[in-house]
Amino acid sequence: MIETFFQSFFLRYNFYMAVIIMLIGLYAMIAKSNLIKKIIGLNIFQTAIFLFYISSSEVTGGTAPILMSDPGTVYVNPLPHVLILTAIVVAVSTTAVGLALIIRIYETYGTIEEDELLVQEEKT
């Protein structure tokens, strides 16, 4: 029982690691009150998902998906890579929009701590 667990762990520890990092990011988005920390958490969360995708594309003994002259070459699956390229673009745009909003929040309220913001919202 415990042996099979270890076997499966070392076969797929990428996925376990991806899940751990995902949870770290999600925790930061939920529990941290600083808005910049929330965006950092979002970045960590998204990269962990990308790690999950890239891990899924691995092929034992495969090489990078760039065309070689040798016809017998085994390539890793390139489709997840293409998907992740697109997702990285989305991630960086989300970060930019979030940061622009944070700057405007700071200009309006003078703070970027969520609890202080909520107190100020109550007052007005």
Partner 1 sequence: MKQDVVIRTVCRLIVPFIQIFALYVIIHGASGAGGGFQGGVIFASSFILIGIAFGLSDARQRISEKANTLLSCTGLYLYAGIGVLCIVFGGNFLGYSFIPLPLDSAATRGLMAEIVEIGIGITVMAVMTSIFYDIAVKEDM
Partner 2 sequence: MIWEFNFALFLFLILCAIAAITVRNLLSAVVILSVYSLIMAVLWAEMNAVDVSFTEAAVGAGITTVLFIAALSRTTRRSKD
Partner 3 sequence: MIPDHLTILVVIIPMLGAYTTLLAGWVKRRFCFPIAMVTICIQFCISLMLLYQVMKTGPLHYNLGNWLPPWGIEYVIDPLNGFVLVVLLFLSLLCCMYSRRCIVDEIEEKKIVGFYTVFLLLIAGVCGIAVTGDLFNLYVFLEISSLAAYALVASGREKKAIFASFNYLIMGSVSACFILIGIGYLYIATGTLNMADLARLLPPLYGSTIIQCAFIFFIVGLSIKTALFPLHLWLPDAYSYAPSAVSALIATVMSKVGVYALIRILFTVFTPAFIIMEIPVMELFCWIAAIAIIVGSVLAITQTDLKRMLAYSSVSQMGYIILAIGIANSAAMTGGILYILSDAVMKGCLFMVAGAFIYSTGFRTIEDLKGISRTMPLTAVAFFIATASMIGLPPTVGFMSKWFIALGALESGQWFFVVIILAGSLLTAIYSWRVIEYMYFRDPDMAHQAAVAGANDPPASMLIPILVLASACILCGIFVTIPLEVIEPSVTRLLGGT
Q: Which residues bind partner 2 (CB under 8 A)?
A: 10, 13-14, 17, 20-21, 24-25, 27-28, 32-34, 36-37, 39-41, 43-44, 47, 50-51, 54-55, 57-58, 62-66, 76, 78, 80-82, 84-85, 88-89, 92, 95-96, 99-100, 102-103, 106, 112-113
Nearest-angstrom CA–CA distance, 110 and 10: 49
| Phi, psi (degrees; rounded to nearest 5) at 34 | -80, 135
SS3 67: coil
CA distance 122 to 5: 52
Q: How many CB atoms lie within 10 A of CB 118?
A: 10
Binding at 67: pick from partner 3, partner 2, partner 1, none (beta carbon under 5-8 Å per type): partner 1
Single residue of 14, 17, 21, 29 touching partner 3 by CB under 8 A: 29
97 lies in the site for partner 3, by CB under 8 A? yes
| Phi, psi (rounded to 5 degrees) for 65 | -75, 60
Of 67, 121, 122, 123, the one binding partner 3 by CB under 8 A: 121
